Amino acid sequence: MDFSDDAPMVGPADVDREALAERGVSLAELVAALRVSLDLSSATDAPPDGWRVLKRYQSGAMVIGAPTDPTAAVWRVAHLDAPNVGAVVMVQPDPMPLRPSRAERRRGLELRWPAVVTENPMASGYFVDIVNTGSSRWKSDGDGFYVVGAFTNPGSTGFDFAWVSLSQHRPVPLDPGEYARVPVSINPSTWNSLEPRTYDLQAVLVSVGLRTIHPLRVEVSAELIAQHRQQNARSHSSPERRRRALDQQIERVRAQIAAGDALHHVVDAVAASQSDDDAITRISHLLKLDGDLARSVYHSSLSELSSSRSAQREKQLEQLTQQRANA
C-alpha cells in the first residue's frame, strides 16, 4: 500500500521506517544505481552521502533522501517518477523535517459530536469537538483543523471524502481536557444524490486521519435536501452565471492538471511553507497561478492530484469545455 497510518513522514510524504535507519550511499552512487541523471545545479548544497530510497510507490515512483544533520531530524529529498533511462532527478531546494506518523500525531485526540449537534443535528449545522484526552499539551506538527464529513448507510464504516472548502481552520494548542469546536465540511454535490431517509454522518480530521468514534445518526428530510440544492443552484440560475461558473471550473481543473504534472514540486513547496498563506504564495509562484487558483490547489486532496487521476482530470476538462461551448 502507498499509504500507511503508522509510517513516519518526511515533510508530507510517508516513508519506510527501516529506510531511515540505513547508512545510505553517495548521491552519485544512488543515481547511477537507479539509472537516472542528476541535475547538478539542484544538488550543489545537498548532502553528498547518506542517500537512500525512502519510499517506493506502487506506480514505480519513489522518494529518495538524505539527512542534513547527525540527528536525522531534517532531510533533503528528491521525487522520481517511475525511473527510466535518461530521466533527470532534481533535489528539492528546501529541507524537510522528519515527522511522526499520523497515528502518533493524533495520539491523545478524540473527535466527538457535541451535545448541541446530537440533540438537534441541523439547528446550527454540523460541528465536532477536537478534544485532548491525553495527559500533556497537544501541539500541531504542521496539521490543520479541517474536518470533512460524508453520509453513509446506517452501520456502514467505510467512506470516501474530498476537499470541498477553501477555508482552512488553523490549529491551536490544546491542554488536557481542552477542545476546539470546528465545522464539518460536506461536499455540496453530495446533496444532489441524497434521498430523504436516515443516514450516518461520518467525520474525519483530515491531516491526521482521526475519525469520530461513533457516527452521528441523522434524518435527512426532503426539505433539507431541497434547501441545499437551491443554495447550490443560486449561483447557476442565469446563463451568464452558468458560463462564469463553468469558466471557474475549467480554470480550477486546469490548475489541478498543472499541479498534478508537478506534484512533487507542489508537495515540496507546501512542506517548506511556514503558514497557509505562505504555501499558497509558493504554489502561485511555482505554477504561475493567481491567488484563488493557487488556493484551490492547496485545498485539493492528494488523491485529486495524483497521476492515477490524470485521465479523469483530462476527461473532466474536455466535458467542461464542451459544456462551456454550448452554454
Query: Which phi and psi (to 5°) does residue 234 adopt?
Result: -60, -40
Rounded mean pLDDT, 277-285:
85
- Asked, for residue 2, whether it belongs to a domain, the answer is no
Whether residues 197 and 261 share a domain: the answer is no
Residue where a domain terminates, one of 192, 211, 233: 233
- Asked, for residue 40, whether it belongs to a domain, the answer is yes
- Asked, for residue 300, whether it belongs to a domain, the answer is yes
What is the amino acid identity at position 236? H
Lowest mean pLDDT among 282-286, 289-293, 319-323: 319-323
Residue bearing the bigger pLDDT, 288 or 19: 19
Residue bearing the bigger pLDDT, 26 or 281: 26
- Asked, for residue 3, whether it belongs to a domain, the answer is no
Answer whether 135's CB lies under 8 Å from 174's CB: no
What is the DSSP-derived secondary structure letter of residue 261? H
pLDDT at residue 166 is higher than 50: no
Whether residues 112 and 227 share a domain: the answer is yes
Whether residues 175 and 281 share a domain: the answer is no
| CA 306 to each of CA 61, 115, 187, 256: distance values in angstroms, whole numbers, following the listed order | 11, 38, 20, 10
Q: Which residues form the domain of 171?
A: 106-233
Q: What are the residues whose beta carbons fall under 8 Å from the beta carbon of 154, sequence distance 6 or more?
A: 198, 199, 200, 217
Whether residues 153 and 228 share a domain: the answer is yes
Measured N-to-C along each axis, helices 239-261 and 263-271 cross at an angle, to the nearest 10 degrees, of 90
- Asked, for residue 271, whether it belongs to a domain, the answer is yes
CA 220 to chain centre: 29
pLDDT per residue as tens digits for the range 177-202: 999 999 998 888 888 888 999 999 99
What is the DSSP-derived secondary structure letter of residue 72? -
Cell numbers found for residue 322: 464542451
pLDDT at residue 323 is higher than 60: yes
pLDDT per residue as tens digits for the range 126-152: 999 999 999 999 999 888 898 999 899
Whether residues 221 and 118 share a domain: the answer is yes
Distance CA 273, CA 283 (A): 10
- DSSP string covering 157-200, please? ---------S-PPPP--B-TT-EEEEEEE--TTHHHH--SEEEE
Rounded mean pLDDT, 72-88:
82
Alpha-carbon torsion (257, 263, 265, 268), positive or negative: positive
Whether residues 95 and 111 share a domain: the answer is no
Residue where a domain terminates, one of 76, 99, 122: 99
| CA 149 to each of CA 185, 202, 220, 226: distance values in angstroms, whole numbers, following the listed order | 6, 5, 14, 19
| pLDDT for res 85 | 65
* Nearest Cα to Cα of residue 120 among 200, 199, 216, 211: 216
Helix (H/G/I), strand (E/B), else coil: 286: helix
Answer whether 27's CB lies under 8 Å from 43's CB: yes
Whether residues 208 and 274 share a domain: the answer is no
Whether residues 225 and 246 share a domain: the answer is no
CATH number where 271 lies: 1.10.268
Residue where a domain terminates, one of 175, 202, 233: 233
- Asked, for residue 188, whether it belongs to a domain, the answer is yes
∠ Cα 161 102 216 (to 5°)? 45
Residue bearing the bigger pLDDT, 81 or 205: 205
Work out how many domains the chain is built from and give that number. 3
CATH number where 181 lies: 2.60.40
- Asked, for residue 211, whether it belongs to a domain, the answer is yes
- Asked, for residue 269, whether it belongs to a domain, the answer is yes
